[in-house]
C-alpha cells in the first residue's frame, strides 16, 4: 500500500499581494504537515522579505526540484533567479510576472507528475475572458456549492450565451464532479432562473435543459428565482446549484462562505483549487490577511484527490449490474415550478423529476 503523503504544489501568487502571508500563516500550524507535503513555487528571497516584514516565524527549506521535497517541512522551490522588487500593496507588471512564472513552472511539473494537486495563491485575473471550454467554474464552501454556466461576460451578452446545450453540458460536469470529487452518490442540483421573474428564457431554454438532464439520469430541479432560492435557504435541500452568470452565483457565495471559500475548475483531469479572494493589495503587508481560504483550498484539493482514487478504483474492474435502479418520483411535486404561459393566464406546473 502506498503511504506516501499527498504532494500539494502551491504557487506564491502576486508578490505584492497577500500570497506569502496566507501561505506562511497557514503552515504555522504543524498539523498541516500531517495532511500533505507542501511545495511552494516561488522565490526564497521574496518569501524571506515577506516573512521579515510581517514578523512571521514560519520556516521553509529551499529546493531546486520538486523531486527534492521532503515530508514534514515547508518546501520552497525556486521558480526563477531574477531579482524581484517587492512593493507591498502595489500591483506591478513585475509582481504579476513573478506570479505567472510560478504558475508556468508548476504546470510543467504537473505534466511530469511530480506532485498530486495544485493550489494557486491569489493573483490578478486575466483581463480577457477565457475561451469557452468543457470545464465548469465552481465555488465551494461548507454550506454551498455553486457552479457557473457563463463566466466573464458583460451582462448584456449573457442571455444569448445561456443555451439549453450549455446548461446541459455544465450541469453534467457538475453532476460528475459531485459524484467523483465530493463523494455524493446521487447529487441533487438546483438550476437558477436567468430572470428576476420566470419568463421566456426559463420556459424555452432552462426547462428543456432540465428535461434533457432527466433523460441522462441527472437530478436537476428548477428553475428557481435566485433571491427566493438563497433568501429561503433552499440550498440546504440540494447538493449544488447552477447559476447562469457570475454575479448571480458569486454575490451569495461571498455572503455565505464566511469561513474560507474555495474556487476550482471541475471537469478537468488536474485538481486545481484557489482561495475565493484576490491578492487584496489594500491590506498587503499589514498582517491582516486571513489564511482560512488558502487552508481550505488545500483541504479541498487533498479531499478531491482521495475521493477520486476511491471513486476510480472499482471502475477499473466493474461488476455487472444485477438490478435496475428505480428512480423516485416523490420530489416531482415537491420541487415543481410554475411558469406563466401568457400574460394573464394561470400558471401551470412544470414537473422536474429528481
CB 127 within 8 A of CB 91: no
Backbone torsions φ then ψ of 69, nearest 5 degrees: -65, 140
Total count of residues recorded for the chain: 354
CB 115 within 8 A of CB 27: no
| Tens of each residue's pLDDT in the chain, 354 residues | 356 799 999 999 999 999 999 999 999 999 999 999 999 999 999 999 999 999 999 999 999 999 999 999 999 999 998 888 999 999 999 999 999 999 999 999 999 999 999 999 999 875 444 455 689 999 999 999 999 999 999 999 999 999 999 999 999 999 999 999 999 999 999 999 999 999 999 999 999 999 999 999 999 999 999 999 999 999 999 999 999 999 999 999 999 988 789 999 999 999 999 999 999 999 999 999 999 999 999 999 999 999 999 998 887 666 665 555 555 555 555 566 655 554 444 433 333 233
CA-CA distances (angstroms) from residue 311 to 105, 116, 150, 304, 305? Answer: 30, 16, 28, 10, 10
47-72 pLDDT tens trace: 999 999 999 999 999 999 999 999 99
Backbone torsions φ then ψ of 144, nearest 5 degrees: -140, 155
In angstroms, rounded to a whole number, what is the distance separating the alpha carbons of residues 36 and 225? 41
- pLDDT of 352: 28
Read off the DSSP letter of residue 258: T
Give the DSSP H or E segment for 22.
Answer: helix 19-26
- In the numeric block, the cell 426547462 is attached to 207
- 3-class SS letters over 295-333: HHHHHHHHHHHHHHHHHHHHHCCCCCCCCCCCCCCHHHH
Give the DSSP H or E segment for 227.
Answer: helix 226-231
197-221 pLDDT tens trace: 999 999 999 999 999 999 999 999 9
Amino acid at each position: 500500500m502506498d503511504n506516501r503523503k499527498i504532494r500539494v504544489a502551491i504557487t506564491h501568487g502576486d508578490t505584492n499581494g497577500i500570497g506569502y502571508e496566507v501561505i506562511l500563516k497557514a503552515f504555522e500550524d504543524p498539523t498541516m504537515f500531517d495532511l500533505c507535503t507542501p511545495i511552494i513555487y516561488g522565490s526564497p528571497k521574496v518569501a524571506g522579505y515577506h516573512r521579515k516584514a510581517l514578523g512571521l516565524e514560519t520556516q521553509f527549506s529551499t529546493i531546486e526540484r520538486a523531486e527534492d521535497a521532503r515530508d514534514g517541512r515547508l518546501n520552497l522551490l525556486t521558480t526563477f533567479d531574477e531579482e524581484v522588487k517587492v512593493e507591498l500593496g502595489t500591483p506591478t507588471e513585475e509582481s504579476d510576472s513573478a506570479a505567472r512564472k510560478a504558475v508556468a513552472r508548476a504546470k510543467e511539473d504537473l505534466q511530469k507528475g511530480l506532485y498530486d494537486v495544485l493550489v494557486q495563491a491569489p493573483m490578478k485575473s486575466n483581463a480577457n475572458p477565457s475561451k469557452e471550454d468543457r470545464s465548469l467554474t465552481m465555488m465551494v464552501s461548507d454550506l454551498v456549492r455553486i457552479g457557473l454556466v457563463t463566466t466573464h461576460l458583460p451582462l448584456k451578452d449573457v442571455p444569448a450565451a445561456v443555451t439549453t446545450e450549455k446548461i446541459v453540458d455544465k450541469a453534467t460536469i457538475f453532476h460528475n464532479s459531485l459524484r467523483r470529487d465530493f463523494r455524493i452518490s446521487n447529487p441533487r442540483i438546483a438550476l437558477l432562473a436567468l430572470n428576476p421573474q420566470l419568463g421566456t428564457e426559463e420556459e424555452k431554454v432552462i426547462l428543456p435543459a432540465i428535461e434533457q438532464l432527466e433523460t441522462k439520469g441527472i437530478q436537476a430541479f428548477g428553475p428557481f428565482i435566485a433571491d427566493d432560492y438563497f433568501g429561503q435557504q433552499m440550498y440546504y435541500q440540494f447538493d449544488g446549484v447552477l447559476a447562469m452568470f457570475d454575479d448571480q452565483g458569486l454575490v451569495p457565495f461571498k455572503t455565505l462562505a464566511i469561513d474560507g471559500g474555495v474556487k476550482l475548475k471541475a471537469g478537468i483531469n488536474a485538481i486545481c483549487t484557489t482561495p475565493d479572494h484576490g491578492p487584496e493589495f489594500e491590506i498587503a503587508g499589514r498582517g491582516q490577511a486571513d489564511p482560512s481560504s488558502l487552508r481550505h483550498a488545500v483541504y479541498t484539493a487533498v479531499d478531491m484527490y482521495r475521493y477520486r482514487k476511491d471513486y476510480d478504483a472499482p471502475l477499473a474492474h466493474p461488476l455487472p449490474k444485477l438490478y435496475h435502479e428505480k428512480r423516485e418520483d416523490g420530489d416531482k411535486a415537491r420541487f415543481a415550478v410554475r411558469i406563466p404561459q401568457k400574460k394573464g393566464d394561470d400558471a401551470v406546473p412544470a414537473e422536474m423529476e429528481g
